[in-house]
Every structure is written in structure tokens, then in C-alpha cells.
Structure 1
Amino acid sequence: MTITYEEFERVDLRCGTIVKAEKFLRATKPAYKIWADFGSEIGVLQTSAQITVHYTPQTLLGKKIVGCVNLGEKNIAGFVSNFLLVGFSDSNGAICLASADLEVPNGNKLH
């Protein structure tokens, strides 16, 4: 499927920093609750992510991530998700987070 550049521009992918992470005990599959700071314009948003294979709550703190911030809210087992944490599946299907390899300010948009 091909999309236009204008359609891609509507996807709001931003750089953020994880400021809080904890086990999501009510989730049906192993997951964490994640809070990420997307800068002064957007603020701190929360999400649920099934990223428990490669990460612990401690290793996630301070990690630069990429999040889609304009998908709307989704209720996941009573927890409201405000953004989608972006990553890739490894060869076993476990998620590896997408991130910036250099220092990027929170809230910067992917171009």
C-alpha cells in the first residue's frame, strides 16, 4: 500500500524521554505502564507497552524513544494510553524500541 507524503505528514511521531515505568499487573499479556516526556508543548503522556523481553522498568528510565502522539486515547485494561510507543520486532517477535542515537530535544517531530 502506498500513501501520499501529505498522509505521512499527518502521523505525528515525536521524540520523548521515559520518565516513569512500572509493571502493568492488570494487562492480559506481560506489559509495562510507561510515562514519557514529550516537551513543553505536549507534556508527559502515558501508554502501555508489551516490551518486557528486552527491557526492565529500571533500564527504561531516561531512554529516548519515538512515540506517535496523535492517535487518540485507548483504554487498555483500565489504563488510558495517550500515545503509541514505536519499535521493531526482533527475530522472535519481541519489541525493540526505536530511538534517536544522538541527543534530540523532547517533542521534536520526526521529519
Structure 2
Amino acid sequence: MEIVPCAKKHLSVDITPDQNLSWEDFQKVQMVVGTIISAEIFEEVRNPAYKMIIDFGDLGKRKTSAQITQLYTPEDLVGKQVVAVVNFPPKQIANIMSECLVLGGIGDNKEVTLMQPERNVKNGTRIG
């Protein structure tokens, strides 16, 4: 299973040795844990998705959308901790400004399984 942003239906990437990230590059990506506090069907988008609000503790609450409707209902998501990148620039998606990128693994049938900690941790905990 490859790990890719939930906003992508499928991503195929061939990485050659000269494209490896440096440790400094990796440290620039702020992947943190947050708890989904709101999730609802995102009716204004073309592909099935949810719009969500995620609590990242001291980093605040952020809006996003994710194409994760194959495996999750909005009720499944509320209260679930997830991993997201919080330092991408905001991106307009239909009528909301997405402020983070939730991460998940994409299966053979393009279903997305969310990345989440094995145990609950403090919201805002950095992944690395």
C-alpha cells in the first residue's frame, strides 16, 4: 500500500536515487496528529468527498476535504485521530479553503485508509 494524500485518487511515482529527500527537506514537512471534530458530505465537489474540521491543539482548528467516502461515513470520522500535513498553502476546493492535507494509504480499488496513530496522542503531536 502506498501512502499518498487523500485528495488524490491514485498517484504513481517512480523515485530515482537522485530524487531522494534530504533530512532537512523531510523536516520541513509538518505532519501532525489532529482529531476530526466535524465531518459532512461535501455536496459541492465533483468527486465524492467529505468536508471536515480537524482540531490540531495549539495549531488550531483547520478545514479540509478528503475523498474517503468508500470506507468511512461522517459518523465514523468524528472523534477519530488522523495525520495531516499542516504547512501546505491553503487551497480553494469548491466553496471552502482547505487548510491541511489528510494522509492515507490508497488500496488496489482506490479506497483510502486514513493514517492514524496506534494510540491516542495529544492533538498537534508532530510525526517524524
In the alignment, the residues of structure 1 paired with residue 112 and residue 52 of structure 2 have an alpha-carbon distance, to the nearest angstrom, of 14
Cα offsets for 1:66-103 (capped at 9, x unmatched): 01000010000121100000001011011110000112
In the alignment, the residues of structure 2 paired with residue 62 and residue 103 of structure 1 have an alpha-carbon distance, to the nearest angstrom, of 10
Q: What corresponds to 2:68 in structure 1?
A: 51
Cα offsets for 1:48-81 (capped at 9, x unmatched): 1000000000000100100100001000012110
Tell whether 2:126 aligns with 1:106: no
Q: What corresponds to 1:70 in structure 2?
A: 87
Q: Percent identity?
A: 39
Residue 104 of structure 1 aligns with an amino acid whose one-letter code is V
1:8 is paired with a residue of what secondary structure? helix
TM-score (structure 2 length as normaliser)? 0.84
Q: What corresponds to 1:97 in structure 2?
A: 114
**Number of residue pairs the alignment of both structures matches:** 110
Residue 115 of structure 2 aligns with an amino acid whose one-letter code is A
Q: What corresponds to 2:30 in structure 1?
A: 12
**Any stretches of 5+ residues in structure 2 without a counterpart?**
1-18
**Any stretches of 5+ residues in structure 1 without a counterpart?**
none
Q: What corresponds to 2:101 in structure 1?
A: 84
CA RMSD of aligned residues (A): 0.6
In the alignment, the residues of structure 2 paired with residue 75 and residue 36 of structure 1 have an alpha-carbon distance, to the nearest angstrom, of 17
In the alignment, the residues of structure 1 paired with residue 94 and residue 102 of structure 2 have an alpha-carbon distance, to the nearest angstrom, of 17
TM-score (structure 1 length as normaliser)? 0.97
